[in-house]
Amino acid sequence: MPQVKFPPLMKYYVENQIEFSMQGASVSELFENILIRYPALKPHLFDSKKNLRRHFQIFVNGIHIRELDGMNTNLNEHDKVILMASAAGG
């Protein structure tokens, strides 16, 4: 199962974990499964059109999914998926 790493600020929504395993053959399926297990995450991660909110970035094995196949990127059992929250300020 792919290993998922969440931003520490979001661990409240995933049983205080920052890293866990979750089944998914693609990034999209992985996040569908995450939302089934942790439904309170949905409004924080996705907008009403089911698009990932723009302040989140997803990496698979250190490569941004926009350089791969986006949310359709296939995952293997030993892949590492990292969800990063962008920081902004002034």
- DSSP annotation string for 42-90: HHHHB-TTSPBPTTEEEEETTEEGGGTTGGG-B--TT-EEEEEE-----
d(CA 29, CA 49): 17
- Into which CATH architecture does domain 3-85 fall? Roll (3.10)
Q: Per-residue confidence of the chain (90 residues) as pLDDT tens digits?
A: 999 999 998 899 999 999 999 999 999 999 999 999 999 999 999 999 989 998 899 999 999 999 999 999 999 999 999 999 887 655
d(CA 56, CA 8): 13
Please return the burial class of 4, using the count of CB atoms within 10 Å of its CB with bins 0-12, 13-18 and 19+.
Answer: buried
